[in-house]
Structure 1
Amino acid sequence: MNPHPQRPDDDNDDEMIGTLLSRRRALRLLGLGGGAAALAVGGVLAQRGAPPGGTGGTSAGTGGGTGLPGCVVRPAMTEGPYYVDEGLRRSDIRKDTTTGKVSEGVPLTLDFVTSRVAVGSCQPRGNVLVDVWQCDANGAYSDVAGNTGDFLRGAQVTDAGGRASFTTVYPGWYPGRAVHVHFKLRPLDAAGRVTGEFTSQLFFPEEVTDRVHARAPYSRRGRRTTLNAQDGLYRNGGNQLLLSLVGSPEQGYRATFDVGLNIG
């Protein structure tokens, strides 16, 4: 692996794609209405071009009201220039399989729960391929920008309960972007063929990132230059993709991300 990984830069970074729609339009596209309108409180929807193997996507995520289903509408975001389909089916993505090196950093467990949004409820959706990729504590991605390896990349298929769990590390930072993790959801048919695609990003609370990045190895990079409020993607619906974390820098963190998927 390159001993001096190249980091992303401001000139080759993610750009917002798609069109953010009103809640009313989002509800119509999801087939929701009437008493189900509360399902999308606080949410936005992104309409994207048709990806290979399927139609454009809509997504939903954790709700914020008592008695509501666990999904509200979420925004789609660009996959950025650093996605690589490595074909790695694994839950622990910290290890570089080419060198055996394990990425340093505060442990982070990401639990995805995929559902199909129905009127007034979210029904568990299995057989969804979940891809996750991110930068390491030094702000570097594997297998791009002159780097080799496959650290901090991996994919899993959700089980019958719609669940897939990843063990990773808290992300570092690079210029021009707030701290984030990329994910892609692709429903599969019975033959394992992709029938749709939804791509977005997860963000982190600033106060948690401050505590994590004050520790080694993150502290060697210095203070990050772009906060959530300054990130162009976060300003377009990132608050609906903000993780709620449980844990500590000493013991690690865990977060569950509920996401409704009405494609494929």
Structure 2
Amino acid sequence: MNQHPNVNPAPDEDNDDEMVGTLLSRRRALRLLGWGGGVAALAAGSVLAQRTSAGTTGATSLPGCVVRPAQTEGPYFIDEKLNRSDIRKDSKTGKASAGIPLTLDFVVSKVTVGTCTPRGRVLIDVWQCDALGVYSDVSGNTDDFLRGSQVTNAQGKASFTTVYPGWYPGRAVHIHFKLRPLDASGKPTGEFTSQLFFPEAVTDAAHAAAPYNRKGKRNTLNSTDGIYRNGGSQLLLNLTGNPQKGYRATFDVGLNIG
């Protein structure tokens, strides 16, 4: 079993608890998006717009898009260039990570004044720890499980099949993601990085099952995670399903960089 990568990290490694990005007020976010006479483009690497079905009461003149915060990449991103939808297996051994199936559906849009339109050709990278809190391809191991990328189609959609993430000391349960718009030649023209978080009740139910229950009780909840406190409630997934059949979540994002 690989040791957890957070054990005795190298002194020059980035800290996965480091906070980055800008958490904007709703009023400032709407100005940046072009409502109220502001600029209709978002600053690269600073903000993210997410379409939601809640939290927009009284804003009938707006589409369902609000701004979300960027968050730290952390020390464990590796540009593996693994173009795949199912990220559970190690590409060399074929061994799949154990855990409750989780399907993540991304829908990427371009935010303009008053609307969101589908945005294709956005490269989405996803990386996370396994059920016992271990990342692949770090701390001396050469596996590449639970890492992968997809490019959004003309409808702005890309899907990943993974497992519900475990936990490791000092962090709430989360999944990292990176968005990079591509030009006609396939070259990235910008990037945005953030994290997805999970409701505590859903995590409690998932982590009561094997193999998660081998890890023991989590020592960091959303409320005590420094990164979550920097806007994580705006990146909280709404999941359907259960530990027996698996979970699914759709994450709608409006991206105005690149």
> TM-score scaled by structure 1?
0.88
Q: Which residue pairs with 2:3 in the alignment? A: 5
CA deviation vs aligned residue, 1:141-193 (integer Å, no higher than 9, x gap)? 00012222100000000000000000000000000000000000000011111
Q: Which residue pairs with 1:75 in the alignment? A: 69
Q: Which residue pairs with 1:28 in the alignment? A: 31
Q: Please point out which of 115, 130, 143 is paired with 1:121.
A: 115
1:59 offset after TM fit, Å? Answer: 1.3
| Structure 2 contact 23–47 (Cα < 8 Å) conserved | no
Q: SS at 1:103's partner residue?
A: coil
Q: Please point out which of 2, 21, 33 is paired with 1:18.
A: 21
Q: SS at 1:116's partner residue?
A: strand
Q: Which moved more, 1:198-207 or 1:57-66?
A: 57-66
Name structure 1 gaps, 5 residues minimum. Answer: 37-45, 48-54
Q: Please point out which of 154, 177, 181 is paired with 1:187.
A: 181
Q: Which residue pairs with 1:201 in the alignment? A: 195
How large is the RMSD of aligned CA atoms in angstroms?
Answer: 1.9
Name structure 2 gaps, 5 residues minimum. Answer: 10-14
The question of 1:148 aligning with 2:137 is answered no
| Equivalent AA in structure 2 for residue 176 of structure 1 | G
| Equivalent AA in structure 2 for residue 61 of structure 1 | Q
Question: How many pairs are equivalent?
Answer: 245
Instruction: State percent identity of aligned pairs.
Output: 71
Q: SS at 1:19's partner residue?
A: coil
In structure 2, what is the Cα distance between the partners aligned to 1:122 and 1:19?
22
1:62 offset after TM fit, Å? Answer: 2.7
In structure 1, what is the Cα distance between the partners aligned to 2:162 and 2:45?
29
Q: Which residue pairs with 2:93 in the alignment? A: 99
| Equivalent AA in structure 1 for residue 244 of structure 2 | E
In structure 2, what is the Cα distance between the partners aligned to 1:58 and 1:224?
30
CA deviation vs aligned residue, 1:51-78 (integer Å, no higher than 9, x gap)? xxxx445311132236653421111001
The question of 1:215 aligning with 2:204 is answered no
| Structure 2 contact 24–67 (Cα < 8 Å) conserved | no
CA deviation vs aligned residue, 1:219-254 (integer Å, no higher than 9, x gap)? 000011000000001111101000000001000000
Q: Which residue pairs with 1:243 in the alignment? A: 237
1:8 offset after TM fit, Å? Answer: 1.9
| Structure 1 contact 114–261 (Cα < 8 Å) conserved | yes
Q: SS at 1:83's partner residue?
A: coil
Q: SS at 2:97's partner residue?
A: coil
| Structure 2 contact 33–113 (Cα < 8 Å) conserved | no
1:33 offset after TM fit, Å? Answer: 2.0
Q: SS at 1:129's partner residue?
A: strand
Q: Which residue pairs with 1:256 in the alignment? A: 250
Q: SS at 1:109's partner residue?
A: strand
Residues 171 and 78 of structure 1: is their aligned pair in 2 closer, same or farther, counting only changes over 3 Å? same
The question of 1:160 aligning with 2:154 is answered yes
